[in-house]
Chains A and B, each alone.
Chain A
Amino acid sequence: MAVSAGFRNDLLAAIPSLRAFAVSLSQNADKADDLVQETLVKAWDKHESFQMGTNLKAWLFTILRNEFYSQMRKRGREVQDSDGIMTARLAVHPSQHGVLDLEDFRAALEKLPDDQREAVILIGASGFSYEEAAEICGCAVGTIKSRVSRARSRLQEMLKVSGEEDFGPDAIAAQVMGSNAA
């Protein structure tokens, strides 16, 4: 059966999200794009198994995730070469005024176990419900909830964010004083 133009357009529209998820999983832009490519080819081949009216994004994320883990199994776990550098950087400056640097956040995210990272991304960034995330990851809703909660605690710990009121006036005050000084 032919692939409909609608399906093709939906695939095209999903590419930015797929890339974001792929980068989040693999922590590597080249590998991420290979994952997206593989996902698009598989989705095209298997388009008949997609049920119209159900969540295409979730279906595609499931394919991409399966592809990621099967590649990981094939290659064996590779060392993430940026890890050492990022760790050193992170140790030098934890967030001073509660304003987190995006690079520090990325480094912390990278250090999470894969299952916690994907859970926190699916729930906190990709906009999936716990039920959808559980379906994508092939596990129980409770498992996703506990992964998200552990991921959050670990991120807070690594980034030294304790409460939710971390945006003090200090950062702004420092900037103003900085520009007026000299």
Chain B
Amino acid sequence: MNIMSNDMGGSGAKRGRAGEKNTLGPNSEIGRKLKQYYDGLVAEEIPDRFTELLKKLEKTEAGGKEG
């Protein structure tokens, strides 16, 4: 039995998240601003260069290895 090794993403992660609420959660002004700042960035539209890049990478792969 290994109780120790398999804790990732389980109760350990939850505990971490509950702990962080005390310092940077929605009850903290800094926490709220941080979220507002970051969410604003996440909400930005993805520039075309990235969808094009992924298309290009796919094409390169389909065409086999390049010399």
Residues of A within 8 A of B (CB): 2-3, 8, 11-12, 15-17, 19-20, 23-24, 33, 36-37, 40-41, 44, 55, 98, 100, 102, 105-106, 109, 120-121, 123-126, 129-132, 148-149, 152, 155-156, 159, 161, 164, 166-167
Contact = CB atoms under 8 A, between A and B. Distances in A.
A40 B38 contact: no
Interface of B: 8-9, 12-13, 16-17, 19-20, 23-24, 27-31, 33-44, 46-47, 49-51, 53-54, 57-58, 61
A149 B53 contact: no
A109 B58 CA distance: 37
18 contacts: A8-B58, A23-B41, A40-B53, A40-B54, A40-B57, A100-B29, A102-B33, A102-B40, A105-B37, A109-B34, A121-B34, A123-B24, A129-B16, A129-B17, A129-B20, A130-B16, A161-B29, A167-B29
Nearest to B20: A123
A16 B44 contact: yes
The B interface is mostly helix, strand or loop, or mixed, namely helix
Interface of A, secondary structure class, is helix
B49 A33 contact: yes
A148 B16 CA distance: 13
Nearest to B25: A124
Given A12-B51, A40-B53, A124-B35, A3 B61 contact: yes
A78 B49 CA distance: 26
